[in-house]
Structure 1
Amino acid sequence: MNSEINRGETLLNQKKSAFLDASLYALIFLLLGFIVFFYFLSFVPITGESMENTMYDKQYCLVLRKCFDVERGDIVTIDTANNGEKEHLIVKRVVGTAGDKLVFMVSQDKKFVDLYRCNADGSYFQKIYEPYIKERMKASSPVYSTVNLLPHDENLTSININDPDNTYMLSQLSDYIITVNPNCVYFLGDNRNISRDSRYYGMRTLNKVTAKVLCVL
């Protein structure tokens, strides 16, 4: 009889111990989850229409605040405040990283603008295919504060910078090229015709890129 009672107590103690162990592990994972979330992740509200149709006013996006690389095409939060000013965060898309060369070319009828890029390690200016923008850039938009628009044949899709036959074209380009400085990014909104971005603020250093957007909620 006593042996049966002892076995019952042993089983009960084992179950209690297993329950306590599971509870402890659950608590540890929960605490780690909170630490990871509040240290690395955050929710950021979208204000305004400058990133339509990718994200809309009053939506939220989940962002990664630490330990991320910035690449072309990434959507990021950027502090556009100058030194001594209060932080001013905006959400934009990175279109150029260090060493990239960018040119805004206006169509011959002066109605539309296309963006061409020569990657830092490349030898061609390529018209960038951007299916995510809300509509084609318009030359009449007032957002080109820091940009010179180069007239061009909009059927031109690429320019080989090493081709001697392109000498004249490249000489024209020289006054219009935006070269992204070391440790900097050039960023644009997806709703190009109303977005205040690098065409207004200029490029920004990587330490001004505060987070990387993971998803829109």
Structure 2
Amino acid sequence: MKKETVNSLYDWIGIIIVPLIAIVIIFMFFFRVVGVDGQSMMNTLMDGDRVIISIINDPKPGDIVVISRNYNNDEAARDQNGNTPIIKRVIAVGGQTVDIDDDGNVIVDGVKLDEPYIAEQHQRRTGDVEFPITIKPGYIFVMGDNRNVSKDSRFSSIGEMGQINEKYVLGKAIVRFFPFSDMCVL
């Protein structure tokens, strides 16, 4: 009987430990959990939400991406916010041209974006980047969904004149998993 109990115990340990190790390895190499800090992505993501990001990514317009604070040319902002990454929506990628009209409409390559996700219409004069702007290859132009409070690519202190090098993109947000009541695929 004792040998059967020991074998049964080993079976249970294997059933629990092997999947846990697999989950840890998967999250180490392919995914990461990130907390939302701030209001710039409201109403899509709220302060305190938790998201799973895919580390393997190629940013595309419309993606919600997590960006390392190291992108920032503004040392005071970097010091104030520490290593907390930022979460923004990709508006354009290398080679695309972005404009924002006087009504706050975002236009990419001559086409007005349909943006049902923005919290409220913003004003063009927010920020100091000159429009229209053509995004350099290997860079992205990002904006928060809550345009009236978001500090994003409309500001020259963000990245290089508002453009963020793709090397600072930590990943693409794929799932909001917390709070559980708001769990969804992004």
TM-score if structure 1 supplies the norm length?
0.65
- Select the residue among 11, 28, 36 that pairs with 1:38: 28
Change (3 A) 1:88 1:18: closer
Are 1:196 and 2:151 an aligned pair?
yes
**Identity across aligned pairs (percent)?**
27
Q: For residues 131-180 of structure 1, give each alpha carbon's deviation from its aligned partner in whole angstroms, at most 9, with x where no partner exists.
A: 000011224x6x32113xxxxxxxxxxxxxxxxxxxxxxxxxxxx42111
Tell me the CA shift for residue 17 of structure 1.
Answer: 6.9
Distance (Å, rounded) in 2 between the aligned partners of 1:43 and 1:30: 16
Per the alignment, residue 178 of structure 1 pairs with: 133
Report how far residue 204 of structure 1 moved: 0.7
2:82 pairs with 1:92:
no
Q: Which residue of 2 aligns with 1:206?
A: 166
Indicate if the aligned counterparts of 1:63 and 1:215 stay in contact, CA closer than 8 A: yes
1 CA distance for matches of 2:139 and 2:21? 36
2:173, 2:26 → 1: CA distance? 16
Residue 144 of structure 1: aligned partner: 127
Of 175, 178, 182, the residue aligned with 1:215 is 175
| Deviations 1:52-98, CA, capped at 9 Å, x for gaps | 1101112222222x222211111111123339866452110001011
- Matched with 1:72 is 61
1:47-62 equivalences in 2 (<5 Å) = 47-62=37-52
1:103 paired with 2:58, answer: no
What RMSD over aligned residues (CA atoms) do the two structures have, in Å?
2.6
Aligned to 1:3: none
Letter of the structure 2 residue corresponding to residue 215 of structure 1: V
The answer to whether the 8 A contact 1:81-1:88 is kept is no
The one-letter code of the counterpart of 1:212 is K
Structure 1 residue 116 corresponds to structure 2 residue 127: no
Which structure 1 residue ranges, 5 or more long, are not aligned? 1-8, 107-111, 119-124, 148-175
Given that 1:101 and 1:178 are in contact with CA atoms closer than 8 Å, whether structure 2 keeps it comes out as yes
Give 2:181's aligned residue. none
**Structure 2, unaligned stretches of length 5 or more?**
179-186
Cα gap change, 1:50 to 1:83, in 2 (>3 Å): closer
Change (3 A) 1:181 1:88: farther
